[in-house]
Amino acid sequence: MLNEEEKAMKKTVEEIETYYAEKRNLSWKDIRQSKQLLEELNEKYQLIRVLDRKGNVVVSVSNGASISLSPSGAPKELQMDYHFVNDERFIILREPLHTSTLNGTIEIARRLVKFQQMMNMLFFIMTVIGVVAMIMSAFIGRLVAQNFVGRLKTLTKTMMDIKNKGMKKRIDVPASNDEMSELMMMFNKMMDEIERLFDQQKQFFNL
């Protein structure tokens, strides 16, 4: 996305340079009179301006890009920078303008509306995914807790039945291979062993 924005800005500045290069004895008056061309080349959310060698604005056009650029020295080569202005992101391109008759700077500032919209959309999607994940986690956690509590109640009920009705009662162990199932199996084995020892004692006393 940003690479496409940069390419579009470079193409615009090349067209401006080509137009000025075709002018013989280019003057600042010619630069000022090129405003119509700059408006035709300008895209939405973009500002184009030409500065003289002292940093004074000679001509400026804007299409939905309100930005105050501080004067700076003329660049020696093409510069591409990113800036945050009033919580909005801009790409600022600065290209030296050199002809046989004058020196200056071409500046293009592009407001990254599409990029910001994409980032806002991604943030919204990530927020929705996060909320859904939290709800699902809570729901799954509740199901797991209910399952655990249900099997714990089954274990408790079986223990009460053994206490009240004898040691023949056993727990129906579910197929799930987890800690609770292992505990139930150990309980059944323990009851089997206790019942076996109890039967042995009964046989001994009956002798």
Q: Tell me the three state secondary structure of residue 48.
A: strand
Tell whether the model's pLDDT for residue 206 goes beyond 70: no
Tens digits of per-residue pLDDT, 113-168? Answer: 776 777 778 778 888 888 888 888 888 888 877 777 777 777 777 777 776 766 67
Going by the DSSP 8-state scheme, the letter that residue 99 receives in this structure is: -
Contact 1, 8 (CB under 8 A): no
Q: Which two tokens stand for residue 76?
A: 């020696």
One domain for residues 134 and 61:
no
The domain containing residue 13 runs over which residues?
2-111
Tell whether the model's pLDDT for residue 196 goes beyond 80: no
Q: Which two tokens stand for residue 143?
A: 């199901």
One domain for residues 158 and 91:
no
Going by the DSSP 8-state scheme, the letter that residue 137 receives in this structure is: H
Query: Residues 6 or more apart from 45 whose CB is under 8 A from it?
Result: 63, 64, 65, 110, 111, 112, 113
Tens digits of per-residue pLDDT, 43-91? Answer: 888 889 899 888 888 898 888 776 666 666 778 888 888 777 767 788 8
One domain for residues 52 and 79:
yes
Query: What's the predicted TM-score (pTM) here?
Result: 0.56
**Average pLDDT of 94-112?**
88
Q: Which of 84, 111, 138 is the last residue of a domain?
A: 111
Contact 91, 82 (CB under 8 A): yes
123 phi/psi in degrees, rounded to 5:
-65, -40
One domain for residues 89 and 174:
no
CATH code, domain with 76: 3.30.450.20
